Amino acid sequence: MKNSDNRLLARAAPNRPHVLAMTCRAATVRERLLSVISEQVHKLSIAMAICAAGFSLSAQGLPITSDRLLHADREPGNWLMYSNTYNSWRYSRLAQVDTSNVGRLKLKWLFQMRTQEKVETTPLVVDGIMYVTRPDNDIIALDAETGRTLWTYEYRNPRRLYPCCGRVNRGVAILGNRLFMNTLDMHVVAVDARSGREVWRTKMFDYTAAGGYAATGAPLVVKDKVIVGMAGAEHGVRGFLDAYDAATGKLAWRFNTIPKQGDPNYSWSGDSGERGGASTWNTGSYDPELNTLYWGTGNPWPDTNGDVRLGDDLYSCSVIALDPDTGKLKWHYQFTPHDVHDWDSTQVPVLVDAQFRGRPRKLLVWPNRNGFFYVLDRQSGEFLTAKAFVRQTWAKGFDDRGRPELIPGNEPTTEGNIDVWPGVDGGANWMAHSYSPLTGWLYTFAREERRVYSKTEYHPPTTEETVAGFRARPVFAPEESFGKVIALEPGTGEIKWEHRVLTPPWSGVMATAGNLVFGGTLEGNVFALDARSGKQLWRFLGNGPVFAGPISFLSNGKQYVSLAVGDVLMTFSLNAE
Amino acid sequence: MRRLSPFLQIGYFALAAAAAVFAQEVPVGVVVERSAATVEKNPFDTPQDAELGRKTFITGGGCSYCHANDGTGGRGANLTLGEYRFGGSDAQLFDTIRNGIPGSDMPPTRGPDQEIWRLVAFVKHLGSQGLDEKAPGDPVAGKTVYDTKGGCGACHAINQQGGIIGPDLTRVGRRRSLKHLEESIVNPSADLPLNYRAVRIVTAHGDTITGIRLNEDDISIQMRDTSGNLRAFLKDNVKEIRRDQPSLMPAYGSVLSRKEIENLVAYLSSLRGTL
């Protein structure tokens, strides 16, 4: 790249018509190319690389308009939101690294976070600057070429917090010149992306209420609003999803994931819904054509004791489809009615337009924690089909409306039910799936394991430390459990291939236009698989647990892949031949 | 790395032992694992502890290098007002001293917990003196200087209005003494935070970019240019890095009158923001 010695990383107000023209032209080329995909993969890869280099030259920088977010796929050199694009494909259109050369992928730089917490963050990248969160809510701007720090924003949390599962954070969202982050003590902050200075701070909720609230997910910006979820369904909270005005930080709407008593959808015995959980702790997706926001909800509380909350416990373990302007519910579908296995449905919703029984449909596809892969019509919410993608012992099948037909004997017992599949961590969990338009398949990193399910006594929610949470998680021997990356056909749930790994994973996956699928194992093996066959083509020994999802971006026209391994953000690129 | 001779090693450890507490050498932008106070209330808060804390503050801890022996600040915050950005409870002060403030010049501090607690005791003593100075100048006239003749808002921001090339001044009145405010106007290079130091980069193509240095190693340098853009350069592509003067800010001693400086100091001192 010609101007590599003079990299303009961020531009306050780009006003360069020729750059925009180039962007449009490149986009048109890309769209045309995408229509001749299947037999010309290699040719396409080259074209994509050229196209991608063009985008990098444009160096649009800040601000990120809502239009740029809508068309994030036209900026393959950047990573503008948690799942890369609103349809949550987590698919990189970069193809410099492909099946033929991935063997030359080498570690380029590290960013050492120096934390004992799990690093679950997905960095964003805007024209050469990476914005990454550290556990406990620091935001750090890095030079994406070298991993060197540009600025650090420190958010000082109280020392005592109430996250169920670690002081974690999964990343920021961006709009205009601002980054948005939710915090473990239930605030939302806006930070100037150029200076790292705080612009506004809004309290979402009292984090010490009930048994303790927290917010760990990455926000999603839709139009002029910042959509933010919350956690705490292990602590008797009452779930909600919030939207804040990006300019002012004022609450625009709140959707309560448990309806008020008296609402036709209030399906809880007595007042148990008041502390029924149904949190919203991961990131959702957005369909601009349907103007619909999709978000998954968490388990009902108490997790493994359903006796005190008889009924379906709506809208726990569901997907809710909302109008993003008002927060009004359009439809919902409950994957696990009256859940007693902690099978949160907080997976990232993936929006795919594909054939279903010979007819093109707007689909919502969902590998769920309960072990089934679901296909819904995302316009109507209609249940289309579901198929197990891991071993499961709890459902015979589904009726026409998608209600599971239960197999008896799977309930938690006071002495511990030891043969329920999948286990409490699920067949899928929060880890990112990825969809490749090249293969037309969805990739997910599944968990094959069971767990002991013990029925807990009921105690009212409290932040006092006297109440023991359910924490008994025996570790099974390798022959009793494993992980697998699988390629699923979105219309049927048919598994096209699987790649086994030793241990049930916590890593997301990312498919790329180089026909690769990246991910990492709990032991720290970072890998690239052939997206068509599942064959492993490259690996790296990172030697730390992977709890995050990979991303890809351009710096100086060159493709990079980043993934947090242990507490180190590792960034890879191709060695010169 | 060159190995120290045995003699020097002994000398080094003797020195380290003498300085029970010392600020860690942490380059800009490197984060450290945090540790937190295990109790809320300072278990070492007698006057004797505060006195031991004072000694550490001035000698072994290196605190006074930025905060001044009397705590009135300089490069570091004025500690005599008893107001702290990250909270003034015993445990909060402990955490700030122990972990430092990432992204600022304030480094983490090593040493046993009891030494940190004694520093907390001394810092609280500094803050309990009620030394909120009254500036003699006129803050209203000072605001006019800030907005017009000084042109300060081109580089500095107050309540998010202004530039980002200089430090944010929204609450500078809580953070800096009158003496330091005046010195910063008259001689800005005297006591400058590390991540506001001026740098001028001449690229291999002959372009010159001026700004403040944000980070640097032997391979690359990162900066904010005078327009506020974040920029980074590989040193292989740089012809020259010039550090002609520490601060980009002009010395206003010759630009503003004595009275104008006094008024400007009064205005800056009145900027208390929110904590």
Pair type for strands A568-574 and A558-565? antiparallel
**Same fold flag, B6-127 and B139-191+249-269:** yes
CA atoms within 13 A on the CB side of A123: 31
Is B168 at the interface with chain A, CB within 8 A? yes
State whether B232 and A153 contact (CB < 8 Å): no
- Residue A54 pLDDT > 60: no
State whether A195 and B228 contact (CB < 8 Å): yes
Once rounded to an integer, what is the mean pLDDT over residues A330-358? 97
- Min mean pLDDT across A186-190, A234-238, B17-21, B138-142 is at B17-21
Of B33, B36, B87, the CB nearest to A114: B33
Those residues with Cβ within 8 angstroms of residue B274's Cβ, 6 or more apart along the chain or in another chain: B171
Higher pLDDT, A471 or A476: A476
User: Per residue in A146-184, is it b (16+ CB within 10 Å) or e — as a string?
Assistant: bbbbbbbbbbbbeeebbbbebbbbbbbbbbbbbbbbbbb
Query: How close does chain B come to A560, measured CA to CA in Å?
Result: 17
User: Quick one: which of A84, A18, A77 has its CA closest to A49?
Assistant: A77
Q: What is the 3-state secondary structure (H, E, C) of chain B?
A: CCCCCHHHHHHHHHHHHHCCCCECCCCCCCCCCCCCCCCCCCCCCCHHHHHHHHHHHHCCCCCHHHHCCCCCCCCCCCCCCCCCCCCCCHHHHHHHHHHCCCCCCCCCECCCHHHHHHHHHHHHHHHCCCCCCCCCCCHHHHHHHHHCCCCHHHCCEECCEECCCCCCCCCHHHHCCHHHHHHHHHCCCCCCCHHHCEEEEEECCCCEEEEEEEEECCCEEEEEECCCCEEEEEHHHEEEEECCCCCCCCCHHHCCCHHHHHHHHHHHHCCCCCC
Once rounded to an integer, what is the mean pLDDT over residues A482-503? 97
Query: How close does chain A come to B103, measured CA to CA in Å?
Result: 5
Higher pLDDT, A27 or B245: B245
Q: Find chain B residues with C-beta within 8 A of A136's C-beta.
A: 34
Amino acid at B235: K
Q: Find chain A residues with C-beta within 8 A of B214's C-beta.
A: 149-151
Once rounded to an integer, what is the mean pLDDT over residues A221-230? 98
Amino acid at A129: I
Q: Find chain A residues with C-beta within 8 A of B215's C-beta.
A: 143, 148-150
Is A275 at the interface with chain B, CB within 8 A? no
Higher pLDDT, A159 or A183: A183
Q: Find chain A residues with C-beta within 8 A of B209's C-beta.
A: 6
Is there a cis peptide before residue B84, judged by omega within 30 degrees of 0?
A: no
Measured CA to CA in angstroms, residue B229 lies from A6, A174, A460 at distances of 12, 17, 53
| pLDDT for the residue B194 | 87
| pLDDT for the residue A167 | 94
- Cα–Cα–Cα angle for B121, B29, B181, rounded to 5 degrees: 60
Confidence of residue B191 (pLDDT cuts 50, 70, 90): confident
Identify the CATH assignment for B198-242 out of 3.90.1150.10, 2.50.20.10, 3.40.50.300, 2.30.30.100: 2.30.30.100
Measured CA to CA in angstroms, residue A467 lies from A211, A456, A459, A460, A463 at distances of 10, 11, 8, 9, 8
Once rounded to an integer, what is the mean pLDDT over residues B195-224? 96
Chain A residue whose CA is closest to B205: A5
Once rounded to an integer, what is the mean pLDDT over residues A95-100? 98
Query: How close does chain B come to A327, measured CA to CA in Å?
Result: 31
- Min mean pLDDT across A50-64, A167-181, A441-455 is at A50-64
Confidence of residue A473 (pLDDT cuts 50, 70, 90): low
State whether B237 and A195 contact (CB < 8 Å): no
- Residue A5 pLDDT > 70: no
Chain A residue whose CA is closest to B29: A149
| pLDDT for the residue A291 | 98
- Residue B122 pLDDT > 80: yes
Of A8, A141, A145, the CB nearest to B229: A8
Query: How close does chain B come to A66, measured CA to CA in Å?
Result: 21
Give dist(CA A54, CA A145) in Å, integer: 17
Q: Considering A138, A342, A530, A567, which one is annotated as catalytic?
A: A342
Place of tokens 């050369």: A101
State whether A151 and B36 contact (CB < 8 Å): no
pLDDT digits (tens, 9 = 90+) for A253-269: 999 999 999 999 999 99
- Residue B22 pLDDT > 60: no
Once rounded to an integer, what is the mean pLDDT over residues A32-39? 36
| pLDDT for the residue A199 | 96
User: Quick one: which of B87, B271, B250 has its CA closest to B178?
Assistant: B271
| pLDDT for the residue A53 | 35
| pLDDT for the residue B3 | 41
State whether B233 and A11 contact (CB < 8 Å): no
State whether B238 and A5 contact (CB < 8 Å): yes
Q: Find chain A residues with C-beta within 8 A of B212's C-beta.
A: none
- Residue B27 pLDDT > 60: no
Is B26 at the interface with chain A, CB within 8 A? no
| pLDDT for the residue A475 | 63
- Does the active-site annotation cover A342? yes
Once rounded to an integer, what is the mean pLDDT over residues A181-192? 98
Query: How close does chain B come to A271, measured CA to CA in Å?
Result: 37
User: Quick one: which of A9, A50, A21, A18 has its CA closest to A557?
Assistant: A50
* Average pLDDT value over all residues in chain A: 89
Q: Find chain B residues with C-beta within 8 A of A190's C-beta.
A: none
- Residue A443 pLDDT > 50: yes
Confidence of residue A141 (pLDDT cuts 50, 70, 90): very high
State whether B103 and A152 contact (CB < 8 Å): yes
For domain B139-191+249-269, which architecture applies? Orthogonal Bundle (1.10)
- How many CB pairs (< 8 A) connect A and B? 119
Of A141, A146, A199, the CB nearest to B160: A199
Confidence of residue A50 (pLDDT cuts 50, 70, 90): very low
- Residue A230 pLDDT > 50: yes
Once rounded to an integer, what is the mean pLDDT over residues B134-151? 96
Instruction: Give the ipTM of the model, two decimals please.
Output: 0.84
- Residue A322 pLDDT > 80: yes
| pLDDT for the residue B9 | 39
Q: Find chain B residues with C-beta within 8 A of A115's C-beta.
A: 33-34
Question: What's the token pair of residue A223?
Answer: 């139009």
| Domain B6-127, classified CATH 1.10.760.10, yes or no | yes
Q: Walk me through the domains of chain A, giving residue ranges and CATH numbers.
A: 102-574 (2.140.10.10)
Give dist(CA B220, CA B234) in Å, integer: 4
Is A203 at the interface with chain B, CB within 8 A? no
- Residue B193 pLDDT > 60: yes
- Phi, psi (5° rounding) for residue A225? -120, 150
| pLDDT for the residue A577 | 58
- Min mean pLDDT across B45-54, B72-81, B140-149 is at B72-81
- Phi, psi (5° rounding) for residue A384? -105, -50
| pLDDT for the residue B29 | 52
10 Å Cβ neighbour count for A358? 6
Confidence of residue A495 (pLDDT cuts 50, 70, 90): very high
Higher pLDDT, A144 or A464: A144
Those residues with Cβ within 8 angstroms of residue A138's Cβ, 6 or more apart along the chain or in another chain: A152, A153, A154, A155, B31, B102
Confidence of residue B33 (pLDDT cuts 50, 70, 90): low
Give dist(CA A230, CA A5) in Å, integer: 43
Q: Find chain A residues with C-beta within 8 A of B230's C-beta.
A: 9-10, 129, 141, 150-151, 194
| pLDDT for the residue A478 | 74
Chain B residue whose CA is closest to A61: B229
Q: Find chain B residues with C-beta within 8 A of A159's C-beta.
A: 36-37, 91, 95
Query: How close does chain A come to B104, measured CA to CA in Å?
Result: 8
Those residues with Cβ within 8 angstroms of residue A292's Cβ, 6 or more apart along the chain or in another chain: A286, A321, A322, A323, A324, A330, A378, A379
Interface list for A 59-118 with B (CB within 8 A): 61, 112-116
Interface list for B 246-275 with A (CB within 8 A): none
- Residue B23 pLDDT > 90: no
What single-letter DSSP state applies at residue A259?
P
Those residues with Cβ within 8 angstroms of residue A215's Cβ, 6 or more apart along the chain or in another chain: A182, A183, A184, A186, A187, A188, A204, A228, A229, A230, A231, A281
| pLDDT for the residue B235 | 97
Q: Which residue out of B31, B172, B195, B240 would a mutagenesis test of the A interface target, given it has the greatest number of A Cβ atoms within 10 Å?
A: B31
Of A6, A151, A154, the CB nearest to B203: A6
Q: Give me the percent of chain B exceeding a pLDDT of 70.
A: 87
Q: Which residue out of A108, A151, A153, A558 would a mutagenesis test of the B interface target, given it has the greatest number of B Cβ atoms within 10 Å?
A: A151
| pLDDT for the residue A61 | 87
- Residue B65 pLDDT > 60: yes
* Average pLDDT value over all residues in chain B: 87
Is B222 at the interface with chain A, CB within 8 A? yes
Question: What's the token pair of residue A82?
Answer: 């948690």
Query: How close does chain B come to A37, measured CA to CA in Å?
Result: 37
pLDDT digits (tens, 9 = 90+) for A498-547: 999 999 999 999 999 999 999 999 999 999 999 999 999 999 999 999 99
Query: How close does chain A come to B183, measured CA to CA in Å?
Result: 25
10 Å Cβ neighbour count for A310? 13
- Residue B11 pLDDT > 70: no
Is B241 at the interface with chain A, CB within 8 A? no
| pLDDT for the residue B275 | 53
Of A12, A112, A153, the CB nearest to B229: A12
User: Quick one: which of A109, A76, A110 has its CA closest to A514?
Assistant: A76
| pLDDT for the residue A467 | 46
- Residue B6 pLDDT > 50: no
Once rounded to an integer, what is the mean pLDDT over residues A487-492? 96
Q: Find chain A residues with C-beta within 8 A of B216's C-beta.
A: 148
Instruction: Give the DSSP per-residue string, A353-391.
Output: EEEETTEEEEEEEEE-TTSEEEEEETTT--EEEEEESS-
Q: Find chain A residues with C-beta within 8 A of B217's C-beta.
A: 146, 148
User: Quick one: which of A116, A310, A131, A336 has its CA closest to A219?
Assistant: A131
State whether A196 and B103 contact (CB < 8 Å): yes
- Residue B17 pLDDT > 50: no
| pLDDT for the residue A15 | 33
Would you list the domain boundaries of chain B? 6-127, 139-191+249-269, 198-242
| pLDDT for the residue A20 | 30
Give dist(CA A545, CA A523) in Å, integer: 5
| pLDDT for the residue A465 | 66
Q: What sign does the CA torsion over B20, B23, B26, B30 have?
A: positive
Once rounded to an integer, what is the mean pLDDT over residues B260-271? 97
| pLDDT for the residue B34 | 67
Those residues with Cβ within 8 angstroms of residue A270's Cβ, 6 or more apart along the chain or in another chain: none
Once rounded to an integer, what is the mean pLDDT over residues A132-151? 96
| pLDDT for the residue B31 | 59
| pLDDT for the residue A353 | 97
